[in-house]
Amino acid sequence: MNEEQITRIRRSWALVASDRQTFARVFYAELFRLAPETRALFKPGMEQQIDKLSLTLAFIVDHLDQPDPLNAEVRKLGALHRDLHVTPAQYGPAGQALLAAFGEILGPVFSAQDARAWAAAYELLAREMQHEPPPGGATGG
Ligand code: HEM
């Protein structure tokens, strides 16, 4: 992530963060529209998940320039998603849903360059989440 991308990400996140639950709600509505089969992976009630996702996004945006805490958190998330049997193919629609949620909430204020910055961040994030640790590998302890 270069500085300009981080600035774009932080600026657009700041515009939705005052109502981050709404952002997460729109995100899941988009995800379930784009990939309806993913709905069954989640518990019926989404409120807790909406809270967790929005808090995690806030953490990620805050730590984009701090690779150590960011990667530690993202690897934990990745392991959790492997346990949940989230497949690599499901990361695509989640990325699209993220951009669609910004577009829906911010309209033209969310520029094509903002979208590219988020797409780049999501790609890094998704790749790191799917990175399998070596068998019996280091736990960092
Ligand atoms: C960068 C991408 C993603 C982020 C930041 C993210 C974030 C999260 C967070 C924070 C949680 C809650 C973890 C906890 O309980 O401690 C979660 C759970 C979950 N995520 Fe993701 N996720 C991502 C991608 C995906 C994708 C692609 C799918 C598949 C459609 C997915 C499906 C799930 C499911 C099924 C749960 C458990 C929900 C439940 O307990 O009902 N996630 N995710």
Q: How far apart are the CA of 115 and the centre of ligand 1, in A?
A: 21
> 130 in ligand 1 pocket by Cβ < 6 Å?
no
> 97 in ligand 1 pocket by Cβ < 6 Å?
no
Per the listing, tokens 């958190």 go with 73
| Side-chain half-sphere exposure of 112, counting CA atoms within 13 A | 0
Domains of the chain, each with CATH number or no CATH: 3-130 (1.10.490.10)
Residue-level pLDDT, tens digit, the chain, 141 residues: 999 999 999 999 999 999 989 999 999 999 999 999 999 999 999 999 999 999 999 999 999 999 999 999 999 999 999 999 999 999 999 999 999 999 999 999 999 999 999 999 999 999 999 988 778 765 555
Per the listing, tokens 């280091």 go with 138
Cα separation, 138 vs 141, whole angstroms: 8
Dihedral sign (CA 29, 73, 120, 114):
positive
Protein residue with its CA nearest to atom 17 in ligand 1: 53
> 41 in ligand 1 pocket by Cβ < 6 Å?
yes
Cβ burial of 29 (10 Å; 0-12, 13-18, 19+) is middle
Q: Which atom of ligand 1 is nearest to the CA of 42?
A: 41
> 43 in ligand 1 pocket by Cβ < 6 Å?
yes
**∠ CA 13-35-14 to the nearest 5 degrees?**
5
C-beta separation of 5 from 120 below 8 A: yes
C-beta separation of 101 from 107 below 8 A: no
Q: What is the DSSP letter of 18?
A: T
Q: Which atom of ligand 1 is nearest to the CA of 74?
A: 5
